């Protein structure tokens, strides 16, 4: 049985002080739901404060990005060894990074390998845009994204990776994939690609999140789907009461 995992992707929101105040408010709500893994992913500068505030708590911390090199002349970048100690998780290849910061399947693959090498747990994002969706190429595109991301990753390492299926047309738009569609792509396509690479045993262990306009109202029907093991939550994770309610609903379903 895969443990459900809800991760809040705060994106470029909240100052370090706001971030600490927020997690102090959120933590008591989610601490009681040990059967759900709950994670917040604040901006880099808020990570030390948030990690300190959550020391010993079951509420986990993740980063939103990393660089693949350990150190060097990469102005403005942050590496896995720098994140180690502050975070357990790291989001890799979010569609906004791919769209606005020219991330490619190749950079996503390098980042995934760097995260694994340094013991960070990756959340790798894949998903098609509206044009691809309408052209009916979602399955082929997502399959190729998953395979490119995992290139050179061992089966043992792959088991611990979380994959977030986030159709780009559903992110921040209020539109979401129906639970059936999310489940089909998450299962047949994402888990299917992992099965092609590593076999069904590994594919059954990898957790697949859905992301895109999830909230406290639709999380229940999504989490009821057999191949959806969690959510990568954007806007709805910025309100403590809303994110806490999503965790509560998830705990009730599992
Ligand atoms: P959203 O964002 O929930 O605001 O649509 C999801 C994401 O980008 O991970």
Query: Which of 37, 128, 166, 216 does the annotation list as catalytic?
Result: 166
CA–CA separation, 206 and 117 (whole Å)? 18
Q: Cα of 10 to ligand 1 centre, how many Å? A: 9
Angle of CA points 178, 182, 187, to nearest 5°: 150
Q: Tell me if 199 CB under 6 Å of ligand 1.
A: no
Q: What is the pLDDT of residue 254?
A: 81
pLDDT tens by residue, 221-252: 999 999 999 999 999 999 999 999 999 999 99
Q: What is the mean pLDDT of residues 168-193?
A: 95
CB 39 within 8 A of CB 59: yes
> Which tokens in the block code for residue 184?
């089909």
155: number of Cβ within 10 Å: 14
Q: What is the pLDDT of residue 176?
A: 85
* Residue 94 appears among annotated catalytic residues: yes
**Is pLDDT of 150 > 90?**
yes
CA–CA separation, 53 and 254 (whole Å)? 28
Question: CA 66: distance to chain centroid?
Answer: 14
**Is pLDDT of 175 > 90?**
no
Q: Cα of 216 to ligand 1 centre, how many Å? A: 13
Q: Tell me if 234 CB under 6 Å of ligand 1.
A: yes
Q: What is the mean pLDDT of residues 198-213?
A: 98
Q: What is the pLDDT of residue 75?
A: 98
Give which of 163, 153, 149, 60 is closest to 105, Cα–Cα. 149
pTM of the predicted protein model = 0.98
Atom of ligand 1 nearest to the CA of 176: 5
47: number of Cβ within 10 Å: 24
Q: By three-state DSSP, how is residue 44 classified?
A: helix
Q: Tell me if 232 CB under 6 Å of ligand 1.
A: yes
Atom of ligand 1 nearest to the CA of 95: 8
Please report which residue ranges of 101-178 form alpha helices under DSSP H. 105-117, 130-134, 138-149, 155-158
Angle of CA points 30, 34, 234, to nearest 5°: 45
pLDDT tens by residue, 39-80: 999 999 999 999 999 999 999 999 999 999 999 999 999 999
């Amino acid at each position: 049985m895969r443990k459900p995992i809800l991760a809040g992707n705060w994106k470029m929101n909240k100052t370090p002080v706001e971030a600490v105040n927020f997690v102090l408010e959120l933590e008591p709500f989610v601490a009681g739901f040990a059967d759900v893994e709950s994670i917040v992913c604040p901006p880099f500068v808020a990570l030390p404060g948030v990690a300190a505030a959550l020391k010993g708590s079951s509420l986990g911390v993740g980063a939103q990005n990393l660089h693949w090199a350990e150190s060097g002349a990469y102005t403005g970048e942050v590496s896995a060894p720098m994140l180690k100690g502050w975070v357990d998780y790291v989001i890799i290849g979010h569609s906004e990074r791919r769209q606005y910061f020219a991330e490619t399947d190749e950079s996503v693959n390098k980042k995934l390998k760097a995260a694994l090498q340094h013991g960070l747990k990756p959340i790798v994002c894949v998903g098609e845009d509206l044009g691809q969706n309408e052209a009916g190429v979602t399955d082929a595109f997502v399959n190729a994204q998953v395979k490119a991301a995992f290139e050179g990753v061992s089966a043992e390492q792959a088991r611990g990776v979380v994959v977030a299926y986030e159709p780009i047309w559903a992110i921040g738009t209020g539109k979401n994939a129906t639970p059936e569609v999310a489940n089909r792509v998450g299962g047949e396509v994402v888990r299917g690609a992992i099965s092609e690479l590593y076999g069904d045993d590994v594919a059954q262990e990898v957790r697949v999140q859905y992301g895109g306009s999830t909230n406290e109202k639709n999380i229940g029907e999504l989490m009821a789907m057999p191949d959806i093991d969690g959510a990568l939550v954007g806007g709805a994770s910025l309100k403590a009461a809303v994110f806490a309610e999503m965790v509560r609903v998830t705990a009730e379903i599992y």
